[in-house]
Amino acid sequence: MKHITIKDVAKRLNCSVSTISRAFNDKYDIRKETRDMILATANEMGYSPNPMAKSLLKQCSNQIGVVVPEFINPFFPEVIIGIQEVFHKNGYQVLIMQSNESYIHELENVKALENNMVDGMILSLSLETKNVEYYKKMVSQGFPLVLFNRVSNELETHKVLIDDYKWAFFATEHLIYQGYKKIFHFSGPDGLMFSKSRKNGFIDAHRKHKLMVDNGSIIETGLMIGDGEREMEKLIKNNDLPDAIFAVNDPTAIGAMMVLKKSGLKIPGDVALVGFTETHLAQLIDPPLTSVAQPTHEIGRTAALLLLDQLENKGIFIPQTVVLNGRLNVRESSMKLSNG
């Protein structure tokens, strides 16, 4: 696997490496014929400039890195497709890594990408990530970093989000309007901003409608299907069923749904369900799940455009937080039976 280098081409053509280089970098100071001839033979020999060497020299690589917590759920993959769309068009390669919701892996990934001299990074923090000192240092040294969804207040970077508070509020209000009284919230880890915001939306919707939020009605659950299953099983075992549950995300809602179905309980009827961060899954399951949809594709595109802008206007940088609009897709899982 010998890579053909600029020297090989130079030797073959009996000219100097700089001439070859010029041919590829399309400067004016080269005769058109020479250029064409060089390009032709280079192509024939299968030569192309080695980007690593170029990166080493130029201290930038035309590559950007993306680190996401997972891609079991379709959410992050869909965001990444949006990212790639933008960068592909602009001549960048996108390197993707996943932290598997681990802080250690996340940091390793970030450092690996840094070492590959990516020109910038797009990052969504892992569940475990509390300490953002390293990222703070990167940012303070001017490294272009854009965060989305799983962001941190401590970092002064571009951010792309949806208004978790607002949409959690609407989702809860929707359940209230349907006439449900005893509404529980399956929440995510308190350390995550979006998790906290969604919880606050839940609480404030109750407040607006002068409803109490009981002590036991907010249950820290987690983010995966298994977490939803576990908590639902507990509730059934304790015979402490709510009318309705607003879950921090779709997987926990789906976990709850599966346990409810297995126990012969009706959705809605016995328990209504609303999720968050809709993926195509929500429409496929039975009953179809009411859920807040995030514009995954758009999140990716927006983050990419912000990073691109930062890359190209190196000097001026004012951290910007873009809040994209979500949407509450009402489906069967949260209907009031007496109405339908």
Binding residues for a second copy (CB under 8 A): 1-3, 46, 48, 50-53, 55-56, 59, 71-72, 74, 77-78, 80-81, 84, 88, 93-98, 100, 105, 111-112, 115-117, 137-138, 141-143, 225, 254, 258, 280-281, 284-287
277 touches which of a second copy, DNA, none (CB within 5 to 8 A by kind)?
none
95 touches which of a second copy, DNA, none (CB within 5 to 8 A by kind)?
a second copy
Least separation in angstroms between CB 103 and a second copy: 15
**143 contributes a contact to DNA by CB under 7 A:** no
**CB-CB neighbours of 181 under 10 Å:** 11
Contacts of 137 (CB under 8 A, 6+ apart): none
Q: Cβ(150)–Cβ(192) under 8 Å?
A: yes
The sign of the torsion formed by the CA atoms of 103, 108, 110, 111 equals positive
Q: Which amino acid is at 110?
A: V
Q: Decide: residue 162, CB within 10 A, 0-12 exposed, 13-18 middle, 19+ buried.
A: buried
The sign of the torsion formed by the CA atoms of 181, 225, 192, 139 equals negative
247 sits in which H/E element: strand 244-247
Q: Which is nearer to a second copy, 179 or 269 (CB)?
A: 269
**CB-CB neighbours of 158 under 10 Å:** 25
Q: Which is nearer to a second copy, 98 or 294 (CB)?
A: 98
Q: How far apart are CA 73 and CA 56, in angstroms?
A: 37
Grouping H, G, I as helix, E, B as strand and the rest as coil, residue 226 is: helix
**323 contributes a contact to DNA by CB under 7 A:** no
Q: Which amino acid is at 298?
A: E
Q: Cβ(223)–Cβ(239) under 8 Å?
A: no
Least separation in angstroms between CB 197 and a second copy: 27
Q: Which amino acid is at 80?
A: I
Q: Which is nearer to DNA, 30 or 112 (CB)?
A: 30
**166 contributes a contact to DNA by CB under 7 A:** no
80 touches which of DNA, a second copy, none (CB within 5 to 8 A by kind)?
a second copy
**283 contributes a contact to DNA by CB under 7 A:** no
Least separation in angstroms between CB 196 and a second copy: 28
Q: Which is nearer to DNA, 19 or 152 (CB)?
A: 19
Least separation in angstroms between CB 297 and a second copy: 11
316 touches which of DNA, a second copy, none (CB within 5 to 8 A by kind)?
none
**CB-CB neighbours of 14 under 10 Å:** 6
Grouping H, G, I as helix, E, B as strand and the rest as coil, residue 152 is: coil
Q: Cβ(185)–Cβ(202) under 8 Å?
A: yes
Tokens 């001026």 belong to residue:
316
Q: Which amino acid is at 267?
A: I
**12 contributes a contact to DNA by CB under 7 A:** no
**61 contributes a contact to DNA by CB under 7 A:** no
**Within positions 18 to 57, which residues make up the interface with DNA, using CB under 7 A?**
18-22, 24-25, 27-31, 34, 47-50, 53-54, 56-57
**246 contributes a contact to DNA by CB under 7 A:** no
142 touches which of DNA, a second copy, none (CB within 5 to 8 A by kind)?
a second copy
Tokens 């590959």 belong to residue:
116
Q: Which is nearer to DNA, 93 or 102 (CB)?
A: 93
281 touches which of DNA, a second copy, none (CB within 5 to 8 A by kind)?
a second copy
Q: Which residues bind DNA (CB under 7 A)?
A: 3, 5-7, 14-22, 24-25, 27-31, 34, 47-50, 53-54, 56-59
